[in-house]
Amino acid sequence: MSPEPEVPDCLTCGACCRTDIDGLIAVYPQDLVRFRDRGRPELSEAVVPGRFGGLAFATTSDGACVHLGTADSACACAIYEERGETCRGFPAGCPRCHQFRYDAGVVG
């Protein structure tokens, strides 16, 4: 039986916030409502066309989500408390987390 993979420290990783393609970090209608309800309407206005006709967060020229990075950590989410459902449903250490880390070369 193989050992359980370690749960990575998100603040030193950020692999799941890098996509290389605009429109992959989906933003759903309920996210837009939460942004407005929490007094962050600018987040609703700062989305781009996503895949399959939806909306998404934009990415920077290096493929990172525009909300990745704070004054304290390059891998912290600048909108963590308001982040969308896509991000909320992506817990550290889940299989998708490890796949993103592998794809980014964070782990071997």
Question: pLDDT (tens digit, 9 = 90+) per residue, 24-67?
Answer: 899 999 999 999 999 999 998 889 999 888 999 998 888 899 99
Residue 70 within a domain: yes
Residue 26 within a domain: yes
76: left (phi over 0), alpha (psi -120 to 50) or beta: beta
Residue 21 within a domain: yes
Q: Which domain holds residue 14?
A: 10-103
Residue 34 within a domain: yes
pTM of the model: 0.84
CA pair distance 51, 40, nearest whole angstrom: 24
CA pair distance 36, 80, nearest whole angstrom: 15
